[in-house]
Structure 1
Amino acid sequence: MTIRKAVKKDSTQIWNLMRELAVFEKYIDSFAITPEIVRKKGFQKQPPDFYCLVASDNDLIIGILVYYFLPFTAQNRPAIYMKELYVDQNYRGHKIGEKLMFALKEEAIMNNCLQIKWTVAPWNTSGQKFYERIGASQNNDWLSYEWNTEEN
């Protein structure tokens, strides 16, 4: 098993895992991503809309970690926002998620990022336990808000 940065030829396999995550997190009805969108927005656009680390077993992508950079903040250092972490259910329990997270931490350090930020669903207690096990802590200083542009 290898952890590496994703390349364009990984697009379809990345999409497959994104789709599995949408099923797992119960938003498959609004899932609008295609392999072509992954290819265009992640590998053909400069700068890309997102970056991706993958865990691969030979040529099979078995885990993904999708992230992007947040611009400089009050601390004059960027942050990384982790959007998706998903490991194929057939490969769980082998510390693949942990290896992806530590690869992301190395990416953050190489880019002088102060923090890695993400959200986790309140019902995803196994995810919460995983993040706490690797040393992350819940940030209770800020509340998460969103504003849907397609509603009145």
Structure 2
Amino acid sequence: MAADASRLRPATQVDVALLLAFIRELGDFERLAHEVVVDEAVLADSLFGARPAAEAVIAEVDGEPAGFALFFHNFSTFHGRRGLYLEDLYVRPAFRARGIGRQLMHHLARTAVERGCARFEWSVLDWNTDAIAFYRELGAVGLDGWTVQRVDGDALQRLAAAA
């Protein structure tokens, strides 16, 4: 099946179960399945509730779900404009090497440009050399000197409760 048989479409509320399946598959691939705690109700509210926190696009090949990208807007104080942040991109193994990941990335870059975003960025696991090489082919550069920081779970609760 050629990549030209694929199409992208915005995710809708009826896609919540599919999106959750993609997220779980991605968690397995990234060796982080134990961190996937979201359920359909939370995902539906987060994407399609009163205050959507993110958006998703689904790639299909001949009507069959092949992959997805989930993204949201962040903000650059230095630019004074929002950016587009790619949280997750996943293509099912049976559909890899068909240009679907590239199609998703081009779509998101166009979305960022159309929405006046100052930048388009994402994180990638340092062991995922195939993904890093793919992103370099697209023109992405790693940000030397920056590390991702996170507070979650009990540590988040302690920080929130601190005076």
- Give TM-score scaled by structure 2 length: 0.86
* Distance apart, 1:143 and its partner CA: 2.3
Counterparts of 1:55-70 in structure 2, within 5 Å, are 55-70=59-74
Render the CA deviation track for 1:88-114: whole Å, top value 9, x for unaligned. 111000010000000000110111101
SS of match in other structure, 2:144: coil
1:29 has 2:34 as partner: yes
Counterparts of residues 90-101 of structure 1 (less than 5 Å): 90-101=94-105
1:53 partnered with 2:71: no
Task: Tell which structure's C-alpha radius of gyration is larger.
Answer: 2
Contact 1:14–1:61 (CA under 8 A) maintained in structure 2: no
Question: Aligned to 1:133, which of 121, 132, 137?
Answer: 137
Q: Secondary structure at the match of 2:154?
A: coil
Q: Deviations over 1:63-121 (max 9, x none)?
A: 11111101352211111111000001110000100000000001101111011111111
* Aligned 8 A contact 1:3 1:55 in 2: yes
TM alignment of 1:1-40, pairs within 5 A: 1-40=6-45
> How far apart, in 1, do the equivalents of 2:28 and 2:115 lie?
32
> Cα RMSD between the aligned structures?
1.5
Matched, 1:145 2:149: yes
Farther-moved stretch of structure 1 (129-138 vs 55-64): 55-64
Runs of 4+ in 1 over 3 A off after TM superposition: none
Secondary structure at the aligned position of 1:103 is classed as helix
In the alignment, structure 1 segments of 5+ residues that lack a partner are none
Q: For the Cα contact (< 8 Å) 2:76–2:118, is it kept in 1?
A: no
Distance 2:31 2:21 in 1: 15
1:137 positional shift: 1.0
2:46 maps to a residue whose letter is K
Aligned residues: 151
Cross-structure match for 2:77: 73
Report deviation, 1:61. Answer: 2.0
The sequence identity of aligned pairs, in percent, is: 24
Counting helix residues as a fraction of each chain, which structure ranks higher? 2
Distance, in Å, in 2 between the alignment partners of 1:56 and 1:145 is 34
Quick one: distance in 1 between partners of 2:128 and 2:48? 30
Q: Give the unaligned 5+ runs of structure 2.
A: 1-5, 159-163
